[in-house]
């Protein structure tokens, strides 16, 4: 695999706080503000321990300067890629979104509804932006071998377009995913299959340990995968866990305490967990900190693997070769003998979300599930389809963050592992 870490540049004078009218910055060549330099330096400290093989950036100075700060600890030069440059907003450049909405009401409404179909007056089309950004990613990948790690520093429009495209999301999700300033979004690229998998999205804890929030007062869901058990990858040979009621191991208990420290300042109104002990043990330290009960929720229960329950992957592949091959290639259509399929997990999770939204309007709730449940949740809310199951990573004690805005689910973070990494 080749790891790609996509970084949005730091703050400039035209970046406004969430909830205020946004400027159309685009190819206006703005320098980083003092805040932006500090953000880039914090990001550089976060990345300093990684082995970075190359740093690529938009030629615009706010991205190029961010990239220089990130590259410095690794002794690397920044390679500029024009394809990573921001969108030319033409007649909209430098205007507030409220001004554009007033002067071009129909076109702006289309921009908010389906941005990749819009041609900006005197500027770019979002479709051409996406095409050149994807070409820039492929050009950056070309000289690197399996095992390399690349940083790509760009702009909000480019990052949104790349995240949607590389992950395989539909175009209309462009506005439903968050890309904060100096966030880290990571993909793994398989050079044999020529495919991308989403490792994490919108990781911001090096700038602010609190979880992001979208505008609006809909429910905010903190979806957590349980901590490590003896059957998890990393603790030994991974098995089909499913409904086997495993406790956390020592690493898992340490992860649960770290998770409690991370989430303690959040305004969490309720805690829900799968009926299995590993999820309840994961949230127990936070429940003690907040003085909240743990409510058992069947909608978070892990998949029933049926006859494969408890087998290692080697054992399953030997005993059920066709089924196992199908599970690895087309997981959405597999139904385990004596068990269930991913569609069953999706249906009960969607029913749970509906129940939670009705019970907790405007509140933040924490839900603790399992790898399969959380992968299915991410695939469903990112509209990837269940066959993308293997293309979305969910680590132990990783956090996904979703918020309902005017009845629509937005994805603010995927697989945030700051608490335990």
| Sheet bearing 54-57, strands edge to edge | 78-80, 54-57, 149-154, 2-8, 184-190, 195-203, 408-416, 399-405, 220-225, 364-369, 268-273, 294-296
Q: What is the percentage of the chain residues whose pLDDT exceeds 90? A: 81
At 125 the pLDDT is: 87
At 235 the pLDDT is: 64
Phi-psi domain of 306 (left: phi exceeds 0; alpha: psi -120 through 50; beta: other) = left
- Domains annotated for the chain, with CATH where assigned, are 2-203 (3.40.50.1240), 220-416 (3.40.50.1240)
Band of pLDDT at residue 340, cut at 50, 70 and 90: very high
Band of pLDDT at residue 19, cut at 50, 70 and 90: very low
Closest to 356 (Cα-Cα) out of 307, 404, 312: 404
Beta-bridge mates of residue 197: 188
- Point out the least confidently predicted range of 79-83, 100-104, 211-215: 211-215
The C-alpha atoms of residue 232 and residue 265 are separated, in whole angstroms, by 29
Q: In this structure, are residues 312 and 282 in contact, taking their beta carbons and an 8 Å threshold?
A: no
pLDDT tens-digit series, residues 138-149: 999 999 999 999
pLDDT tens-digit series, residues 180-228: 999 999 999 999 989 999 999 999 999 999 999 888 789 999 999 999 9
């Amino acid at each position: 695999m080749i790891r790609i870490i996509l970084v949005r540049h730091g703050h400039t004078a035209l970046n406004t706080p969430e909830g205020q009218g946004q400027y159309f910055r685009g190819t206006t060549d703005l320098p980083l503000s003092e805040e932006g330099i500090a953000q880039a330096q914090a990001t550089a400290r976060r990345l300093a321990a990684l082995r970075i093989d190359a740093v690529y950036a938009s030629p615009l100075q706010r991205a190029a300067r961010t990239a220089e700060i990130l590259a410095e600890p690794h002794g690397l030069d920044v390679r500029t890629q024009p394809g990573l440059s921001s969108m030319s907003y033409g007649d909209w450049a430098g205007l507030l979104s409220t001004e554009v909405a007033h002067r071009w009401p129909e076109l702006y409404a289309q921009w908010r509804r389906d941005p990749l179909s819009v041609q900006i007056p005197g500027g770019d089309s979002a479709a051409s932006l996406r095409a050149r950004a994807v070409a820039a990613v492929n050009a950056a990948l070309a000289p690197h071998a399996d095992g390399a790690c690349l940083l790509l520093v760009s702009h909000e429009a480019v990052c949104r377009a790349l995240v949607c495209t590389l992950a395989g999301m539909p175009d209309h999700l462009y506005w439903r995913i968050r890309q904060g300033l100096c966030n880290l979004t990571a993909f793994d690229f398989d050079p044999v299959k020529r495919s991308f998998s989403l490792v994490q999205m919108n990781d911001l804890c090096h700038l602010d340990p609190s979880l992001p929030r979208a505008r609006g007062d809909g429910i905010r869901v903190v979806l957590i995968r349980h901590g490590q058990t003896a059957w998890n990858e990393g603790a030994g040979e991974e098995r089909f866990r499913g409904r086997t009621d495993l406790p956390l191991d020592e690493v898992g208990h340490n992860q649960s305490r770290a998770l409690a420290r991370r989430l303690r300042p959040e305004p969490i109104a309720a805690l829900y967990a799968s009926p299995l002990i590993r999820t309840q043990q994961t949230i127990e330290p936070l429940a003690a900190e907040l003085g909240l009960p743990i409510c058992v929720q069947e909608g978070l229960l892990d998949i029933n693997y049926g006859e494969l329950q408890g087998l290692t992957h080697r054992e399953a592949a030997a005993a059920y070769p066709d089924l196992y091959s199908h599970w690895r290639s087309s997981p959405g259509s597999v139904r385990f003998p004596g068990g269930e399929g991913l569609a069953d997990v999706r249906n009960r999770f969607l029913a749970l979300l509906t129940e939670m939204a009705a019970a907790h309007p405007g509140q933040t709730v924490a839900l603790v599930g399992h790898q399969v449940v959380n992968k299915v949740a991410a695939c469903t809310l990112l509209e990837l389809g269940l066959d993308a199951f293997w293309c979305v990573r969910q680590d132990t004690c990783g956090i996904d963050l979703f918020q309902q805005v005017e009845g629509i689910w937005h994805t603010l973070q995927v697989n945030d592992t700051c608490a335990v990494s």
